[in-house]
Amino acid sequence: MAKQLGLPGTEGAPRRAGGNTTGHGGKRPGAGRKRARPGRARGTHRARPFHDRRLPVHVVLRVTPEVGRLRRHKAYAAVRLAMVALVLAGRPGFRVVHLSIQRHHIHLLCEADDRTTLANGVRTLCISAAKRLNRAVTIAGGRPRTGRVFSDRYHATAIATPRQARHALAYVLNNWRRHREDHAGVGERRALVDRYSSGIAFGGWAERDGVPFAWPPRFEPMPIAAPQTWLMKGGWKRGGPPLSLWERPGPLV
């Protein structure tokens, strides 16, 4: 009977999975897909909870270190153009009613009809902002920059009470005072409101008594939507004293 010829080097017994601690295959320390990237702890990927359309949502978006500081003109312009694109896209069930740009993260106060609309609206804004921020980094550094901009799933907190709504407004619009950005330069020390936020369009400042700010020359404000939830339209006023321009918000709990 003819004998089947084998390949050279295969005369040994078949290797069992896990039997070779230095080779491939099998269960061993360090094997498999890594559960998380190095750095700040990431959010879990559980299904988002049910969203009540009557409740606004505080959303936090964090950027990767490679993107750099967001409180600069070109980064502000990139986020603003993403907001313009969101408005032009015509998403009636999703609204950004206020926002602020901090050094390495962005705060949003949003309203949405349901959980899916909220997720899709934030995702659309993130994709649009990521493209424009990468372009801004490319122009500034002279080297093409692609890839991830936002470091994690967005963090979202539903706002259910007037007290919580008032604190969220103070936290978002006056976050620059919390991070001491109001002392970052001469312009910041003279300013009453954060130019990297939608605070100039907020009509509830105690010191203004309903009188809107006059826009500085060549200033391009963020295009925000008019609130439709009771808490954002005025219910927040029942949560505490009038919101002061000089208020330094405490931790968000």
Q: Is the torsion defined by CA of 28, 30, 31, 32 positive or negative?
A: positive
- Confidence (pLDDT) at 51: 87
Rounded distance between C-alpha atoms, residue 202 and residue 173, angstroms = 9
Q: What is the pLDDT of residues 157-169, one digit of tens each?
A: 999 999 999 999 9
Q: What is the pLDDT of residues 63-111, one digit of tens each?
A: 999 888 999 999 999 999 999 999 998 888 999 999 999 999 999 999 9
Q: HEC profile for 64-111?
A: CHHHCCCCCHHHHHHHHHHHHHHHHHCCCCEEEEEEEECCCEEEEEEE
Domains and CATH numbers, the chain: 57-239 (3.30.70.1290)
Q: What is the pLDDT of residues 196-249, one digit of tens each?
A: 999 999 999 999 998 889 888 889 999 999 999 999 999 999 999 999 999 999
Q: What is the pLDDT of residues 141-159, one digit of tens each?
A: 777 788 889 987 778 999 9
Amino acid at 100: S
153 in Cβ contact with 46 (< 8 Å): no
Which tokens go with 84? 């313009």
173 in Cβ contact with 75 (< 8 Å): no
- Prediction pTM value: 0.79
Residues above pLDDT 70, as percent of the chain: 80
